């Protein structure tokens, strides 16, 4: 299941040892939640993996309580991998046709509709330019929040 179908991720709320918590809105009813994204790459040992699994089991076990956060849903890495593959294919297609987008970020990709199998579309080609193989660019463009630190030096 793709988290982007049911929920809209908002601002980052907290960054912890294994993941990041975001403000998240349920698209169907408009309720806001906290959504924790756990990076599998940071789960380096069997102990780390069991620690996260244990926390999930505890959250599933607890009954609803007004003062305890509740586990609403879980999404697997597979859905994120499909989106990432699509973004890479978009970049490859642009480059094959001699175009550099120059403003790749989450906000510049939209789903064609709300169906689970909706196509992901790249938007905002306002900073895009044509290029020739081997050509070098020195101008810094795009959103600084999404740039590698070494680019900003």
Region label for 72, one of left (φ > 0), alpha (ψ between -120 and 50) or beta (otherwise)? alpha
CA nearest to 57, candidates 46, 44, 68, 71:
71
Which residue has better confidence, 2 or 127? 127
Q: What is the mean pLDDT of residues 22-51?
A: 84
Assign domain 3-61 one CATH number from 3.30.930.10, 3.10.105.10, 3.60.21.10, 3.30.200.20.
Answer: 3.30.200.20
In degrees rounded to 5, what are phi and psi of residue 68? Answer: -125, 130
Residue 1 binned pLDDT confidence (cut-offs 50, 70, 90): low
**pLDDT tens digits along 61-110:** 999 888 887 777 766 667 777 888 999 999 999 999 999 999 988 788 88
Question: Cα–Cα distance between 68 and 59 in angstroms, integer?
Answer: 9
Question: Cα–Cα distance between 23 and 53 in angstroms, integer?
Answer: 22
Q: Cite the residue boundaries of each domain of the chain with CATH code 3.30.200.20.
A: 3-61
If DSSP states are collapsed to H, E and C, what string results for 38-89?
Answer: ECHHHCCCHHHHHHHHHHHHHHHHCCCCCCCCCCCCCCCHHHHHHHHHHHHH
Report, in this order, helix, strand and coil percent for the chain, each rounded to 5: 35, 20, 45
Question: For residue 94, what pLDDT is reported?
Answer: 96
Q: What is the mean pLDDT of residues 22-27?
A: 86
Give the homologous superfamily in CATH for domain 77-152: Transferase(Phosphotransferase) domain 1 (1.10.510.10)
Q: Cite the residue boundaries of each domain of the chain with CATH code 1.10.510.10.
A: 77-152
CA 91, 136, 140, 15 torsion: positive or negative? positive
The CB density around residue 74, as the number of other CB atoms within 10 Å, is 11
Gyration radius of the chain over CA positions: 19
Residue 125 binned pLDDT confidence (cut-offs 50, 70, 90): very high
- Token digits of residue 30: 């408009």
């Amino acid at each position: 299941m793709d988290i982007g179908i049911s929920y809209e991720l908002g601002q980052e709320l907290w960054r912890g040892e294994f993941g990041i918590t975001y403000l998240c809105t349920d698209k169907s009813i408009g309720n806001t939640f906290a959504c924790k994204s756990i990076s599998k790459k940071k789960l380096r040992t069997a102990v780390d993996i069991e620690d996260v699994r244990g926390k999930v089991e505890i959250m599933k076990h607890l009954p609803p309580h007004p003062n305890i956060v509740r586990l609403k849903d879980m999404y697997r890495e597979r859905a994120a991998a499909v989106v990432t593959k699509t973004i890479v294919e978009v970049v490859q297609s642009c480059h094959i046709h001699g175009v550099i987008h120059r403003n790749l970020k989450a906000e510049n990709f939209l789903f064609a509709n709300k169906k689970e199998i909706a196509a992901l579309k790249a938007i905002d080609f306002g900073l895009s330019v044509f290029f020739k193989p081997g050509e070098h660019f020195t101008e810094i463009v795009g959103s600084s929040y999404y740039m590698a630190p070494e680019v900003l030096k």
